[in-house]
Chains A and B, each alone.
Chain A
């Protein structure tokens, strides 16, 4: 009974979120992961507005996009593109990194 109602909740929430996901268009910026590095390593974005990041992982292994400053964390599976929304940001530098390849996968978002 408890488990069944949990599943009902789960699907209801999934459905609601899917329906409400059809939103407005934001300015889109692209990041590519290749050989466990981000390209570009410095990405300029406008401050003061919500922006959409498209992260394209061209490697054969998964990566995790992470930024403490942006309070964001997201797995980017191998050969997949994911979307992540950030902001509106105050002007400044927002470093990010690949949690699965910390040595090489580093970059910074610069909001102006």
Chain B
């Protein structure tokens, strides 16, 4: 996936907010798991509780470090058939997820194509009415030029849309047909500004070694009702000892893009660092996510240090857009 296509990041971003874009997100991993034992295996190895969903649904979940509950990867699980799951890790974490849960790495056999935006379903319906009709957080099979595919009502932009798993042999055709039906191709640059405006975490930034789910406001991803799972004692112990930081939104008063790693100051004192930062094309201000002292609250005026200069900003709630 390129950083941007010919229209540029801001225009691709706005196309997703007002119409629809198509991303080739085939770089994500896919592990295919099949068998009676898979449900219990995923329940044991991943944080979220599959009892909250059922066949034909998807779930956001984490792989935790058993020692300290660091988020080693954030993952989407598609429950596609009886005893059959697609587990979708971040590209660079596919190997450690596979070490934990096994499965067959089918990443190179398929493409993942995301169509996102208020017009996404209307556009996908031109290519496949079945794919377009999938409900939010559900996954359904469909056929494209005779090939078996899946469509999930998921995404990473804060907009409605679908993500389609299609065999590599028909991937170009699918992408081109979606584009011909009216979706604007969008690159990695827009994918990052869109997910940031939507307040969605990115592994390696908000989620990484040293950050547990509750510290990233993602305690709901931990299935505490399960009898046991990897990292359980560690995450409970972290909560009992107190969170070290908490994830907050930061909104600059001006247009300057905020940047990952920048220190955040409250009344002259450093209270944490940005984990992501950029420019919000919708708000036309700098925005970012930051791991800050947990007792801070929304609305506080802070300063963000960018290349030696401090720019005024507010701690705020995220998502940054409605």
Do these two chains really belong together in a complex? no
